[in-house]
């Protein structure tokens, strides 16, 4: 059944005058915004997105809208994740430094256990 519908749709599209585009759409100005350090679209962030749409006549701010609350929560989650990942990197760097120091100490300890030059060889190295 599904195969017959698919072939029927394909044959109808082939014989129709309408063109069907399967390419992705390009948003106007996206390249320019990226080049200038702005968001991909005008609705991702900025004053039109972040500021309230209206306020009371006496100056009180409007209650936050659902979209504003959602974006605020998403930013908080992202900030927490950044802090967590940053602390993980810091801990990883610290353990790496400790391992490097341990390897260096072990190498120095190995060198201290080696035989020391004596007699004529010792006198040749000192002057």
Number of Cβ within a 10 Å radius of residue 92: 10
- Predicted confidence at residue 117, as pLDDT, reads 75
Helix-strand-coil split of the chain, %, nearest 5: 60, 0, 35
Contact 48, 36 (CB under 8 A): no
What pLDDT digit, counting tens, does each position of 46-75 carry?
777 888 888 899 989 889 889 889 999 999
Q: Which residues pair with 61 in a beta bridge?
A: 55
What pLDDT digit, counting tens, does each position of 4-25 carry?
555 555 555 566 666 656 655 6
């Amino acid at each position: 059944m599904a195969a017959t519908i698919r072939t029927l749709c394909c044959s109808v599209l082939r014989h129709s005058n309408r063109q069907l585009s399967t390419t992705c759409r390009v948003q106007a100005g996206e390249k320019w915004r990226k080049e200038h350090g702005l968001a991909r679209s005008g609705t991702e962030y900025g004053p039109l997105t972040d500021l309230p749409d209206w306020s009371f006549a006496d100056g009180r701010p409007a209650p936050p809208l659902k979209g504003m609350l959602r974006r605020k929560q998403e930013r908080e989650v992202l900030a927490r994740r950044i802090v967590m990942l940053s602390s993980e990197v810091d801990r990883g760097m610290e353990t790496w430094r400790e391992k490097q120091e341990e390897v260096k100490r072990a190498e120095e300890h190995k060198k201290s256990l080696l035989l020391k030059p004596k007699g004529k060889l010792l006198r040749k190295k000192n002057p």
